[in-house]
């Protein structure tokens, strides 16, 4: 992976608000989507469905489709998510993590339901909230990363 240096022309002369906006844009353009972020998005979306049950196959397929769509749009994604075998392995690991932390509950031999609570994070200044609410933190991070109206310049 090639990481190019960030170049903001005349950064020292920009008003703080403009510099902040350009830095945010650059961060969003360079951000990489991971299985954790995409699978969290799946859990939040499925939790809002009339029938929130899902299987590992459905989770894996959704993560693969999201990754492919983002990659096609020129966004950076974990390349392992673009290969079925490795995407399934990552989704399996995420599901095990989610089960250990009470974010999903098994309802059948191959089915799960999300057990998502409040997605608001309540933290003190200077804290990020990941330890207190990993799902909410990751959901908010994903929403921020998706907020970029990305136009590929290739």
pLDDT digits (tens, 9 = 90+) for 79-124: 999 999 999 999 999 999 999 989 999 999 999 999 987 777 776 6
Confidence of residue 152 (pLDDT cuts 50, 70, 90): very low
Domains in the chain: boundaries: 33-146
pLDDT tens-digit profile of 1-28? 444 455 666 767 778 787 777 777 777 6
Choices 1.25.40, 1.10.1200, 3.40.1130, 1.10.10: CATH for 33-146: 1.10.10
Whether 81 and 64 have beta carbons less than 8 Å apart is answered as yes
* pTM more than 0.75: yes
Judged by DSSP in three states, 93 sits in helix
User: How far is residue 45 CA from its own chain's centroid?
Assistant: 12
């Amino acid at each position: 992976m090639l990481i190019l240096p960030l170049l903001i022309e005349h950064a020292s002369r920009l008003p703080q608000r403009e510099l902040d906006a350009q830095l945010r844009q650059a961060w969003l353009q360079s951000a990489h989507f991971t299985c954790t972020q995409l699978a969290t998005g799946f859990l939040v979306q499925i939790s809002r469905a009339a029938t929130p049950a899902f299987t590992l196959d459905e989770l894996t397929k959704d993560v693969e489709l999201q990754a492919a769509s983002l990659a096609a749009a020129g966004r950076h994604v974990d390349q392992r998510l673009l290969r079925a075998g490795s995407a399934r392995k990552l989704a399996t690991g995420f599901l095990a993590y989610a089960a250990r932390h009470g974010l999903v509950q098994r309802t059948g031999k191959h089915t799960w339901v999300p057990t998502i609570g409040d997605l608001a994070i309540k933290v003190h200044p200077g804290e990020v909230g990941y330890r207190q609410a990993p799902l909410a933190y990751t959901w908010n991070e994903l929403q921020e990363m998706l907020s970029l109206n990305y136009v590929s310049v290739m």
